[in-house]
Chains A and B, each alone.
Chain A
């Protein structure tokens, strides 16, 4: 059995995997914002600190060596490749030396903090960059600007952002895939267990759910189920064995009793009274045995699991039964008819179907008064089921009692008061159940005796 994709989507595990992925996305977004903000702020602060340090160093040089010395220093440092940018301007703002041709515009009210955008790169590929630093007037008026090119820092932030996004998408995909795999695994384990329970219900009590050494929740569930199945199998087997040993323990003494009665009859009893008494006792023994056999057979029908069902020719069975019982009906002066469609097959046990239908025909013959009608019919219904019915013109069974008659199987005590009939119908019910069929009682052929009875047995075709 393959774990189909739709089954996977329906599982709890998969839904959990989806929820987990959503949480993961939120987390990634939060992380990204945090990383972005802290990194950007930190980088700006670092840039300003570096610029401040440099500004102080150059200020020191100016105090010691004057404007000339400072100018020389600015030219040197600006020429050196580095992240810092320099500009020295006169008191009026005219550029003396440095990286820019004009004093960059800095936002008003920012004090000595400088933050501006400038154009760098080659002429063909100009590049706008940000810089943060410090700008201020030195003693006697010249203006000095030191700033750090933030281009590289921004690239770092961008790379981090990219990394976080890529990670988030990969994580999302991974969590989806692992969710599907995990839930597929779960579906498979559950399907194993479901299959086991189905097979057990179909009658194979030896089936067990597969377990692994891993011992996860499914294994705990499966081994719990298996423990239950072992117990169930033991119970069924012991009740079956009990049936067999009761059969042996009781039938043997009953057989002896019968032998003795027969032997006594053979020995020419003294009087006709004795003979009659012995014969009555023998008949009584036979009746006890018949009931006993019927009870055992019913019990066996309900507990036996090793039925070998195969396609059974229902048409042939019904025709043979009609032929078998036809002469009896004629003898009882009944109008007996049979209407059997050809080629009806049901999946089942021939002997059991035979017996169930024979019981129904015998019931009809038993309860239909002389001159009445019995009609046997077998056909395929529109819904494909194989239906066999035996209708008679007897007194029938009142609507309110029909269920009760079927229930006799569970109320054996009541059935015993009316020997034969009660167990006969119970056997039909048991056979119908075993064949996944249905057995119902309806009104039959109405006549002088009443509404009649129609006993209907339906079985699925193979």
Chain B
């Protein structure tokens, strides 16, 4: 997909660009806020990755101006200011996701993909299907190979998030933020524990594994 990368640090920009290239995106680079806004107004990008601190015009300003001009391209804000208040400020200005610096390349790639996929789903589906697993969002039931799987409410939400992003890598931080709405770094392996519990419910009795661990990145639900 077509990504507009806005980053003023040349070395970081280069490294992000090659990472996005490597993941199969075509990348255009802007190094200041003014250029970013000009390019962003075209609306020809699928995703905009926007640094918060920029020369000439800061990221939040660029974003508000774009949203004000009716540009709905999904925006991921990168910031050295990872604090809650800045995150909220970014989301208020109309960003779709917010990533504090520093981040791993994988985290960034996972989020860019997730933004693009998230945009595809215009009408909320009633049923999510991955392989032989079926989730009914209205009845709040999960069937695998026709067999009912009992889940706790939070497990249901965790699985729902994984199913909505099936085929994509989701990181631990993404799960922490999107499923639990927590914005701190746990010092324990708490996400892994929750995943392993979910795995024992959905994968244990079946020959095919759906929930995969992606080493060094996170997890992927895939048939």
Q: Which residues of A contact B (CB under 8 A)?
A: 244, 247-248, 251-252, 254-256, 258-260, 262-263, 289-290, 293, 296-297, 300, 304, 306, 320, 323-325, 327-328, 331, 349, 351-352, 354-355, 358, 362, 365-366, 420, 424
> How far is B79's CA from A247's CA once the two chains are assembled, in angstroms?
10
Q: Are A256 and B185 in contact (CB under 8 A)?
A: no
Within 174-191 of B, Cβ neighbours of A (below 8 Å) are at 180, 182-190
Q: Which residue of A lies closest to B8 (CB)?
A: A252
26 residue pairs from A and B, CB less than 8 Å apart? A247-B81, A248-B53, A251-B80, A251-B102, A252-B9, A252-B101, A254-B102, A255-B101, A255-B102, A259-B16, A260-B15, A262-B105, A263-B15, A290-B185, A297-B83, A304-B85, A320-B180, A327-B190, A327-B194, A327-B197, A328-B190, A351-B84, A354-B184, A358-B184, A358-B186, A362-B186
Interface string of B97-117 (1 = CB under 8 A from A): 000011111100000000000
> How far is B201's CA from A109's CA once the two chains are assembled, in angstroms?
136
B204 CB to closest chain A CB (Å) equals 16
12 more A-B contacts (CB under 8 A) besides A248-B81, A304-B85, A323-B154?
A248-B53, A251-B80, A252-B80, A255-B101, A258-B104, A259-B12, A259-B105, A289-B102, A290-B185, A300-B83, A365-B188, A366-B188
B43 in contact (CB, < 8 A):
no
Q: Which of A255, A325, A365 has the most CB of B within 10 A?
A: A255
Q: Which residue of B lies closest to A361 (CB)?
A: B188
> How far is B190's CA from A331's CA once the two chains are assembled, in angstroms?
10
Q: Are B193 and A362 in contact (CB under 8 A)?
A: no
A392 CB to closest chain B CB (Å) equals 14
Q: Are B188 and A362 in contact (CB under 8 A)?
A: yes
Q: Are A256 and B15 in contact (CB under 8 A)?
A: yes
Chain A residue contacts of B42, Cβ below 8 A: none
Q: Looking at the complex, which one of A255, A324, A327 makes contact with B180 (CB distance below 8 Å)?
A: A324
Within 70-86 of B, Cβ neighbours of A (below 8 Å) are at 80-85
Chain A residue contacts of B105, Cβ below 8 A: 259, 262-263
Asked whether A255 and B12 contact (CB < 8 A) given A289-B102, A351-B183, the answer is yes
Q: Are B84 and A325 in contact (CB under 8 A)?
A: no
B11 in contact (CB, < 8 A):
yes
Q: Which residue of B lies closest to A279 (CB)?
A: B216
Q: Are B82 and A293 in contact (CB under 8 A)?
A: yes
> How far is B83's CA from A235's CA once the two chains are assembled, in angstroms?
21
| Chain B, interface SS category | loop
Q: Are A251 and B183 in contact (CB under 8 A)?
A: no
Asked whether A358 and B182 contact (CB < 8 A) given A255-B102, A256-B15, the answer is yes
> How far is B182's CA from A259's CA once the two chains are assembled, in angstroms?
25
> How far is B84's CA from A304's CA once the two chains are assembled, in angstroms?
12
> How far is B193's CA from A328's CA once the two chains are assembled, in angstroms?
6
Chain A residue contacts of B185, Cβ below 8 A: 290
Q: Are A354 and B12 in contact (CB under 8 A)?
A: no
> How far is B82's CA from A247's CA once the two chains are assembled, in angstroms?
9
Q: Looking at the complex, which one of B9, B180, B190 makes contact with A256 (CB distance below 8 Å)?
A: B9
Q: Are B193 and A327 in contact (CB under 8 A)?
A: yes
Q: Which residue of A lies closest to B22 (CB)?
A: A266
Q: Which residue of A lies closest to B106 (CB)?
A: A262
> How far is B9's CA from A197's CA once the two chains are assembled, in angstroms?
43
Q: Which residue of B lies closest to A356 (CB)?
A: B184
Q: Are B193 and A255 in contact (CB under 8 A)?
A: no
A142 CB to closest chain B CB (Å) equals 118
> How far is B135's CA from A166's CA once the two chains are assembled, in angstroms?
98
B126 CB to closest chain A CB (Å) equals 27
> How far is B9's CA from A252's CA once the two chains are assembled, in angstroms?
8
Q: Looking at the complex, which one of A256, A258, A304, A366 makes contact with B187 (CB distance below 8 Å)?
A: A366
Chain B residue contacts of A304, Cβ below 8 A: 85
> How far is B82's CA from A254's CA once the two chains are assembled, in angstroms?
14
Q: Which residue of B lies closest to A293 (CB)?
A: B82
Q: Are A255 and B103 in contact (CB under 8 A)?
A: yes
Asked whether A306 and B85 contact (CB < 8 A) given A256-B9, A262-B105, A289-B102, the answer is yes
> How far is B182's CA from A324's CA once the two chains are assembled, in angstroms?
10
Q: Looking at the complex, which one of B80, B180, B182, B193 makes contact with A248 (CB distance below 8 Å)?
A: B80
Q: Are A259 and B15 in contact (CB under 8 A)?
A: yes
A372 CB to closest chain B CB (Å) equals 15
> How far is B8's CA from A252's CA once the two chains are assembled, in angstroms?
11
> How far is B101's CA from A251's CA once the two chains are assembled, in angstroms?
7
Chain B residue contacts of A365, Cβ below 8 A: 188
Chain B residue contacts of A247, Cβ below 8 A: 80-81
Chain B residue contacts of A327, Cβ below 8 A: 190, 193-194, 197
A320 CB to closest chain B CB (Å) equals 7
Chain A residue contacts of B82, Cβ below 8 A: 293
Q: Are A328 and B189 in contact (CB under 8 A)?
A: yes
Q: Are B102 and A324 in contact (CB under 8 A)?
A: no
> How far is B179's CA from A213's CA once the two chains are assembled, in angstroms?
59
> How far is B83's CA from A352's CA once the two chains are assembled, in angstroms?
11
> How far is B83's CA from A260's CA once the two chains are assembled, in angstroms?
25
